[in-house]
Structure 1
Amino acid sequence: MGKLSSEADELREETWSADLERPEYADDRGKVVEDGLDAVRRTAQGYFVNLVTHGNHGHPSDYLHGAVEDEFDGVRVEYVERCGCGGYVTRVHVDE
């Protein structure tokens, strides 16, 4: 499984953002989904993670939202906005 940083195995007890729009994600939608799911796994209950995805893959409701909802119970997925740089922000709330 892909890792987002050297702290990838730590549970984050905070609201945070996962940068999935770096160049290595531009041509690999599978990596976006894999690392997005990993980010949700690393988010403690009661917090949310913003999944910031590369614009090359289009709207995240077409490929990411369903993957998150299929993988996890007790999460809420919401589209937030399109970034000025062309990417998209999806917020995943890990409910208590």
Structure 2
Amino acid sequence: MSDHTLPEVEPVTDRVHRNSWSANLERPVHEERRDAVVTGAIEAVEHTAPGYHVNLVTHGAHGRPESYLGPVLHARFGDSVDWTYVDRCGCGGHVLRVQVAER
């Protein structure tokens, strides 16, 4: 297991996505635990093939995600990812698009 795994939280995905996709980080556990959002975001980026992006759809309870996910993503992935805040969802959440660089 990776050092960011939360065994009590269901994984965001179980496969590598060789296309652009969206990760749902708006479940009740994500509202209650920001660490579950962070863990899910890391997991989603790790499961996104180079050259594609993942839209991290985060729970609105934690505010705009670039403030707390940006530093984590930079520390974990460095220049191999680039992120952009997209917008607020109609449901109150937020979308952060993370592009994974070609290797």
TM, length-normalised to structure 2: 0.86
Deviations 1:32-71 (A, max 9, x none): 0011000000000000000000000011122111111110
Tell whether 2:75 aligns with 1:70: yes
Amino acid in the other structure paired with 2:100: V
Pick the aligned partner of 1:45 from 38, 50, 64.
Answer: 50
Tell whether 2:64 aligns with 1:56: no
8 Å Cα contact 1:69/1:77 also seen in 2:
no
Residue 38 (structure 2) aligns with: 33
More helix by share: 2
Residue 28 (structure 2) aligns with: 23
Kindly report the root-mean-square deviation, in angstroms, between the aligned alpha carbons of the 2 structures. Answer: 1.0
Percentage identity across paired residues of the two chains: 46
Runs of 4+ in structure 1 over 4 Å off: none
Amino acid in the other structure paired with 1:4: V
CA distance in structure 2 between the aligned counterparts of 1:15 and 1:26, rounded to whole angstroms: 24
CA distance in structure 2 between the aligned counterparts of 1:66 and 1:89, rounded to whole angstroms: 16
CA distance in structure 2 between the aligned counterparts of 1:72 and 1:92, rounded to whole angstroms: 11
CA distance in structure 1 between the aligned counterparts of 2:100 and 2:66, rounded to whole angstroms: 18
Aligned residues: 93
TM, length-normalised to structure 1: 0.92
